Amino acid sequence: MGSPTLTGGWARDIMHRQNASENPMKVSAIVPAYNEAERIGAVLEALLGSKKLDEIIVVDDGSTDGTAEVAKRYGVKVLSLPENMGKAAALDAGVKLARNDVFLFIDADLVGLRPEHVDRLIEAYERKSLYMVIGVFREGRLNTDLAQTIAPYLSGQRVLNRDIWERVRRKERLEFGVEMALTKLALKEGWEEEFVTLDGVTHVMKEEKRGLAQGLIDRLKMYGDIIKSVFIRVDERGKEAPEGEAGTEPEAGEEGGGDRDQGELELKGSGRG
């Protein structure tokens, strides 16, 4: 029996099945982190100050700078991956560990995050019965403000649930970026979503973390992946293929989006956070 399509009132009930007075919505925060020992503490302090979180999980994505050790000092759950597998794999590992079905995805390198930002994101999701909420930087600093004004869908700060995450794993190419995959599926299926302003929040740029040369290389690769992802489309059977390759025979296990599990191998990207 195939998976039901998430549309209509029935789907909305499924997506917010925890949102009832007798069973209040519980949220797990998932923080993917790669070499963020210097920055993750401030993010965890903001999360711990929130009134809306039931669980905080840090997924250490093969860090070499003691990120996991710093996170453990805050009394949160810490899952350490054996190697740097990339953001999609780290998030997926966190989702599998989480005890709740609603997730707040938060980057580990945020600057200026406060508990009220966290509460604002979760409240918008809960109050308005949305498919997804996206946090957008404002008045943090000029370059990140400008970037998220132009492309707010690239923000990593999101609230969504397990059904949506499993759906995007099945239907989209996560190696091109979690944010792009979620955005593409939202557009295809007409999700109701909302952008929530995170005033005074920014993040550390790649060039600052990795040096000008490597940071620029990583940034150009990220933009390249985004551009490539625009040209990936889903053919009529649900199999993803680049433009011009639709109609090719699916590999074993891919027919109809059936039994194949998009596990660690497919989720693993180029590494780094």
**Mean of pLDDT values over 28-33:** 98
Q: Among the listed ranges 45-49, 62-66, 219-223, 229-233, which one has the minimum average pLDDT value?
A: 229-233
pLDDT in tens, 145-199: 566 666 666 778 999 999 999 999 998 877 668 888 888 888 888 898 889 989 8
pLDDT in the model for residue 190: 86
Pairwise pLDDT comparison (132 vs 258), residue with the higher score = 132
pLDDT in the model for residue 35: 94
Strand, helix or coil for residue 36: coil
Strand, helix or coil for residue 38: coil
Strand, helix or coil for residue 183: helix
Please name which of 105, 96, 101, 119 lies closest in space to residue 14, comparing C-alpha atoms: 101
pLDDT in the model for residue 65: 95
Please name which of 175, 179, 176, 29 lies closest in space to residue 89, comparing C-alpha atoms: 175
Tokens of 158: 């999101």
Tokens of 263: 């596990």
- Asked if residue 96 lies in contact with residue 28, where contact means CB atoms within 8 angstroms, the answer is no
Whole-structure pTM value: 0.70
Please name which of 121, 138, 144 lies closest in space to residue 193, comparing C-alpha atoms: 121
Q: Which fold has domain 26-204?
A: Spore Coat Polysaccharide Biosynthesis Protein SpsA; Chain A (3.90.550)
Task: Classify burial at 213, counting beta carbons within 10 Å of its beta carbon; exposed 0-12, middle 13-18, buried 19 or more.
Answer: exposed
The owner of tokens 């999360």 is 47
Tokens of 266: 């497919």
Boundaries of every domain in the chain: 26-204
pLDDT in tens, 75-99: 999 999 999 999 999 999 999 999 9
| 225 C-beta neighbours (distance < 10 Å), count | 16
